[in-house]
């Protein structure tokens, strides 16, 4: 599976998306959220579902689930905590909090709606990239264009040829097929490439490693769950703008390992199994340059980051 990171519009998330979900779960007012949901890719795709099968669509299933939720003072406090981005983020670290805010029963439909809203309203880089594709005269910043273009299908195909020593051709072909679905994002490798980036960051600063774990290693609990590979529920972690700034400051004077050295290091690791005590976490990361550029760009723009795996 490919790991991607996306720009995350924290302001829209905190002021529009989560308040609408809060109204639905606590006040049972679904209208604001439904109006937002109608503009998502998920809703558009399900418009073609035959009438006899529409009860199986995402919104009807989520509505039925919400109607069955417990409505008690304690439950309402839990829903309010769950839908408050600031409060939820403060208690979302799985390593510290054994029971972060969550619904009693997970709902795949509600998780899908949350992810669809994130895709439509909270990924500013994806929106800019779509405008640039639709209108050639629409200009993106050079750095953003470079990062987003890296994960286009033809770029993945080129990487498949250049990195045959690292990835089997059959695996890369499947990655190319997967890249066209959903937001493009900035690719930072295939699982378990995150282990290599995390290990490399650990040699730089513990704080940098922790923030990366919250972003891309499933250390941070997600409000409505996480389903790797799902079309809309594959978001596995995020960083707030403040956390992105902290990460950028930790990495401000850091230079990534040269890509050729990373390739050689990876080859040596697999060619000599059991001959050393090295772990995969100690192998130089191949996508460190892309990761650093993405973090610094998000920090400059004052936005967060969110990670998807699929």
Q: What is the pLDDT of residues 11-38, one digit of tens each?
A: 999 999 999 999 999 999 999 999 999 9
* pLDDT value for 282: 93
Identify the residue whose tokens are 């439904």.
34
Question: Helices 206-216 and 241-250: crossing angle, nearest 10°?
Answer: 140
The sign of the CA dihedral 75, 68, 222, 242 is negative
Cα 264 from chain centre: 29
Alpha helices in 96-168 (DSSP H): 108-121, 124-134, 142-149, 153-162
* pLDDT value for 181: 54
CB atoms within 10 A of CB 276: 10
Closest CA to 198 of 185, 182, 211: 211
Sequence-separated (6 or more) residues with CB below 8 Å from residue 52:
none
Q: Which tokens in the block code for residue 302?
A: 């004052």
Q: Give the full edge-to-edge strand order of the sheet including 304-309.
A: 186-190, 2-8, 304-309, 235-239
Beta bridge partners of 93: 220
Identify the residue whose tokens are 């606590």.
26
Asked if residue 294 has a cis previous peptide bond (ω within 30° of 0), the answer is no
Parse the chain into domains and list their residue ranges.
2-309
Q: What is the pLDDT of residues 276-292, one digit of tens each?
A: 678 899 999 999 999 99
Closest CA to 94 of 200, 219, 264: 219
* pLDDT value for 222: 95
Task: Measure the CA–CA gap between 282 and 172, rounded to whole angstroms.
Answer: 23
* pLDDT value for 95: 92
| Stretches in the chain below the pLDDT threshold 50 | 137, 151-180
Task: Measure the CA–CA gap between 253 and 6, rounded to whole angstroms.
Answer: 23
DSSP three-state, residue 227: coil
Sequence-separated (6 or more) residues with CB below 8 Å from residue 62:
107, 109, 110, 112, 113
* pLDDT value for 292: 96
Compute CA distances 112 → 77, 127, 179, 302, whole Å: 23, 19, 19, 27
Sequence-separated (6 or more) residues with CB below 8 Å from residue 114:
17, 21, 223, 224, 233
């Amino acid at each position: 599976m490919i790991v991607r990171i996306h720009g995350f519009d924290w302001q829209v998330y905190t002021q529009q998306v989560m308040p609408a979900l809060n109204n639905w779960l606590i006040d049972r007012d679904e209208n604001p959220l439904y109006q937002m949901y109608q503009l998502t890719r998920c809703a558009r795709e399900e418009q073609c579902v035959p009438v006899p099968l529409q009860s199986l669509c995402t919104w009807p299933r989520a509505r039925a689930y919400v109607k069955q939720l417990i409505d008690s003072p304690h439950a309402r406090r839990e829903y309010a905590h769950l839908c408050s981005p600031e409060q939820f983020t403060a208690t979302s670290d799985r390593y510290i909090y054994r029971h972060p805010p969550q619904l009693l029963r997970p709902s795949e439909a509600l998780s899908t709606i949350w992810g669809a809203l994130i895709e439509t309203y909270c990924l500013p880089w994806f929106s800019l990239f779509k405008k640039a594709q639709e209108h050639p005269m629409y200009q993106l910043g050079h750095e953003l264009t470079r990062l987003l273009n890296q994960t286009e299908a033809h770029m993945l195909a080129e990487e498949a040829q250049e990195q045959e020593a690292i990835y089997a051709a059959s695996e890369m072909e499947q990655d190319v097929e997967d890249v066209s679905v959903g937001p493009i994002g900035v690719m930072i490798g295939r699982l378990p490439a995150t282990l290599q980036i995390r290990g490399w960051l650990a040699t730089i600063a513990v704080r940098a490693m922790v923030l990366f774990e919250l972003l891309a290693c499933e250390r941070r609990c997600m409000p409505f769950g996480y389903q790797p590979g799902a079309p809309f529920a594959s978001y596995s972690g995020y960083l707030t703008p403040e956390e992105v700034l902290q990460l950028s400051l930790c990495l401000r004077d850091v230079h990534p390992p040269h890509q050729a050295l990373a390739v050689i290091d990876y080859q040596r690791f697999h060619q000599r199994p059991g001959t050393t005590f090295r772990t995969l976490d100690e192998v130089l990361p191949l996508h460190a340059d892309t990761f650093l550029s993405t973090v610094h760009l998000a920090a400059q723009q004052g936005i967060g980051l969110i990670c998807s795996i699929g």
